[in-house]
A and B are shown apart, each in its own frame.
Chain A
């Protein structure tokens, strides 16, 4: 077994055992969760939960204050109230939950802060030269500080894949530690960009490094690289979280991002989280979906569960 020897900030050594992942076995296990069948009340509960776990995201070069404001409005009012409320009242159900957070570039954080004031919705900002991460550490730290100062409550950083792939694990580790410090009270999500790592063994190692370095969440992807989140990749990361929890009792969160578009997929992820980590993780504090299209599909399915029929798509605003 390979041991990765690292040095912690305080100078003490840190040994990370490289854990092997059998790709066939992991894929097969992940595929199992596509066969769970969640119906009726359980389905409705899962849809509610999934919605409350969404990080509504816009990360485009073309983002403008106007676009971000629109998205924030969607985060606050996902659905026209008169459309669903009567059905909720009829069945004595709680109101449709708001999403967990919006996710934007640092430059858009002030816009989001203003638009979401008083809503309780989190403001996540990508930082550290997202999505490539190819910038000097000082720039990445500055990027992070800026976002936090402007009011971001969560930071989604990218790991240094260049360093990781050339075996400079200490560098990857140190960067995460530095960014974590720059985050202050903001939660740190560490994006591994699994689509660039090349094997599940490496996904596992990157997960372990990120967790040891102090990640509050580990996250699959930027959404800019294909493949983004998949069930097997998420499973491997969940298992890293489970092992860390078993060893230390600490709970690290998980965020698959990119490629999750349908309620059906979201429910598969929820089943996987429940059966791999347990019910403690069935909360937005420990599990998020990085998605945008998913929100409307969840709403559509919630409406269908409430009324027994689908509403036509146009009734939900695009964003």
Chain B
């Protein structure tokens, strides 16, 4: 409830996705705490923690990102200074209370609220041994510059413009559902959102037609309504940014679509789920992360073209492949430069699975055994 109030995401997602994943993440890393020696093959002794880690998290999954950061850090024996985003601090503060109740010694987990300046103070503090950041590529670059020439370790989980490939032999109805989940989940405020849809030409029209029909059925509105599929844009600033990018998209070309039967509440930062069909790889919408419910659709003719188009980006966070042919999925997945690749599904998260990107999507992995390494002195 608090997460939905604070962030604007549908209560169904907070209830069924965010909060269960938070619990799963803590549970998973709690299991590692006394088995660290076995996390690194051939380790002679228990690996040492780094010390004090500074963590800065975004507003799209406030509590889940806190769990992603705090759980592995604590499991490895570090202490934490964590800064939630200035627009979504509430659940982190509630978590701090829970941590107090749980009897964690004072000073082990420190939550500091604030905006960019606070973040800079954490990053630049001389006693910080490691910085972990999830957020925009822009800020990620600033942080990377700040910690250069220091011995601070750094992991960055940044933006993405992830490709969602649908081959002609895919299960189309389920693929369409995957596209919906890929781009409209959490209003598109997802770093790994499948924001570039690549369709094999022979099925492109069918998919677009079905996608339109499906989008007409989305319910956009009050995030506290259990039936809401797409909630509110997190802040006025984000809303302006999304609208601006759509305007740019309209001037560049492509066919714009937004569902006519979706009604938005008159008050609040709501935005219709939409897409641009027939966009070129050169268009802004194919290259820039919108971080909103905006999808860019283009087509391809062969597997090779699908792969080269999917990799034609400065990012490399995630990708999705839809095909009923296993060999094609493996061939494509092996050639994609993305940290997470889903086959015949999208936006599935599990604490046991490492998550992270290539290129401007950042470096370091969170989740799974790999998620321990950034917090250990190895």
Cα distance, A19 to B172, chains bound together (Å): 8
Cα distance, A1 to B178, chains bound together (Å): 21
Considering only CB atoms, which chain A residue lies closest to B177 in the complex? A29
Interface centre among A20, A26, A35 (most CB of B within 10 A): A20
Q: Are A36 and B177 in contact (CB under 8 A)?
A: no
Cα distance, A175 to B373, chains bound together (Å): 65
Q: List, in ascending order, chain B residues with CB within 8 A of A1's CB.
A: 168-169
Taking CB atoms and an 8 Å cut-off, the chain B residues in 161-187 that contact chain A are 168-175, 177-178
Considering only CB atoms, which chain A residue lies closest to B346 in the complex? A25
Q: Are B217 and A25 in contact (CB under 8 A)?
A: no
- Determine how close the nearest CB of chain A comes to the CB of B79; give it in whole angstroms: 39
Residue A246, interface by CB 8 Å:
yes
Q: Are A22 and B324 in contact (CB under 8 A)?
A: yes
- Determine how close the nearest CB of chain A comes to the CB of B3; give it in whole angstroms: 17
Residue B16, interface by CB 8 Å:
yes
Considering only CB atoms, which chain A residue lies closest to B322 in the complex? A22
- Determine how close the nearest CB of chain B comes to the CB of A92; give it in whole angstroms: 26
Interface string of A138-164 (1 = CB under 8 A from B): 000000000000000000000000000
Interface string of B337-363 (1 = CB under 8 A from A): 000000011000000000000000000
Q: List, in ascending order, chain B residues with CB within 8 A of A242's CB.
A: 213
Q: Of B177, B213, B227, which one neighbours A25 at CB under 8 angstroms? A: B177
Q: List, in ascending order, chain B residues with CB within 8 A of A36's CB.
A: 226-227
With A35-B12, A35-B16, A275-B217: A22-B171 Cβ-Cβ less than 8 Å: yes
Q: Are A20 and B217 in contact (CB under 8 A)?
A: no
Residue A24, interface by CB 8 Å:
yes
Taking CB atoms and an 8 Å cut-off, the chain A residues in 9-58 that contact chain B are 19-22, 24-26, 28-29, 35-37
Considering only CB atoms, which chain A residue lies closest to B324 in the complex? A20
Taking CB atoms and an 8 Å cut-off, the chain B residues in 102-142 that contact chain A are none
Cα distance, A21 to B16, chains bound together (Å): 25
- Determine how close the nearest CB of chain A comes to the CB of B286; give it in whole angstroms: 26
Q: List, in ascending order, chain B residues with CB within 8 A of A26's CB.
A: 171, 173-174
Q: Are B173 and A21 in contact (CB under 8 A)?
A: yes
- Determine how close the nearest CB of chain B comes to the CB of A279; give it in whole angstroms: 11
Q: Are A239 and B173 in contact (CB under 8 A)?
A: yes
Q: List, in ascending order, chain A residues with CB within 8 A of B209's CB.
A: 246
Q: List, in ascending order, chain A residues with CB within 8 A of B16's CB.
A: 35
- Determine how close the nearest CB of chain A comes to the CB of B208; give it in whole angstroms: 12
Q: Are A25 and B226 in contact (CB under 8 A)?
A: no
Q: Of A22, A35, A246, which one neighbours B174 at CB under 8 angstroms? A: A22
Q: Are B171 and A25 in contact (CB under 8 A)?
A: yes
Count class of interface residues, chain B: 20 to 34
Instruction: Give the interface SS of chain A, mostly helix, strand, loop or mixed.
Output: helix
Q: Are B324 and A24 in contact (CB under 8 A)?
A: no
- Determine how close the nearest CB of chain A comes to the CB of B228; give it in whole angstroms: 10
Q: Are A22 and B344 in contact (CB under 8 A)?
A: yes
- Determine how close the nearest CB of chain B comes to the CB of A214; give it in whole angstroms: 24
- Determine how close the nearest CB of chain B comes to the CB of A263; give it in whole angstroms: 18
Q: Are A35 and B170 in contact (CB under 8 A)?
A: no
Considering only CB atoms, which chain B residue lies closest to A32 in the complex? B177
Considering only CB atoms, which chain A residue lies closest to B226 in the complex? A37
Interface string of A222-246 (1 = CB under 8 A from B): 0000000000000000010010001
Cα distance, A1 to B324, chains bound together (Å): 10
Q: Are B169 and A25 in contact (CB under 8 A)?
A: no
Considering only CB atoms, which chain B residue lies closest to A42 in the complex? B227
Interface centre among B16, B171, B227, B324 (most CB of A within 10 A): B171
- Determine how close the nearest CB of chain B comes to the CB of A201; give it in whole angstroms: 9
Cα distance, A25 to B342, chains bound together (Å): 13
- Determine how close the nearest CB of chain B comes to the CB of A14; give it in whole angstroms: 20
Considering only CB atoms, which chain A residue lies closest to B180 in the complex? A29
Q: Are A24 and B227 in contact (CB under 8 A)?
A: no
Cα distance, A29 to B178, chains bound together (Å): 10
- Determine how close the nearest CB of chain B comes to the CB of A26; give it in whole angstroms: 6
Considering only CB atoms, which chain A residue lies closest to B15 in the complex? A35
Cα distance, A243 to B16, chains bound together (Å): 31
Cα distance, A13 to B168, chains bound together (Å): 24
Q: List, in ascending order, chain B residues with CB within 8 A of A25's CB.
A: 171, 173-175, 177-178, 344-345
- Determine how close the nearest CB of chain A comes to the CB of B180; give it in whole angstroms: 10
Q: List, in ascending order, chain A residues with CB within 8 A of B177's CB.
A: 25, 28-29
Q: List, in ascending order, chain A residues with CB within 8 A of B344's CB.
A: 22, 24-25
Considering only CB atoms, which chain A residue lies closest to B173 in the complex? A239
- Determine how close the nearest CB of chain A comes to the CB of B280; give it in whole angstroms: 28
- Determine how close the nearest CB of chain B comes to the CB of A35; give it in whole angstroms: 6
Interface string of A94-116 (1 = CB under 8 A from B): 00000000000000000000000
Cα distance, A119 to B213, chains bound together (Å): 39
Interface string of B174-204 (1 = CB under 8 A from A): 1101100000000000000000000000000
Q: List, in ascending order, chain A residues with CB within 8 A of B171's CB.
A: 19-22, 25-26
Cα distance, A208 to B378, chains bound together (Å): 59
Taking CB atoms and an 8 Å cut-off, the chain A residues in 234-262 that contact chain B are 239, 242, 246
Q: Are B227 and A21 in contact (CB under 8 A)?
A: no
Cα distance, A20 to B16, chains bound together (Å): 28
Provide a sorted-by-A list of 16 A–B residue pairs whose CB atoms are within 8 angstroms: A19-B172, A19-B173, A20-B170, A20-B171, A21-B174, A24-B174, A24-B345, A25-B171, A25-B174, A25-B177, A26-B171, A28-B177, A36-B226, A246-B209, A246-B213, A275-B217
Q: Using A1-B168, A21-B171 as known contacts, list a sample of 4 further A-B pairs with CB atoms less than 8 Å apart, ordered by residue number in A.
A: A24-B344, A25-B344, A26-B174, A239-B173
Interface residues, chain B, CB within 8 Å of chain A? 12, 16, 168-175, 177-178, 209, 213, 217, 226-227, 324, 344-345
A-B CB proximity, top 8 nearest: A25-B174, A22-B171, A22-B174, A37-B226, A20-B171, A20-B324, A275-B217, A239-B173
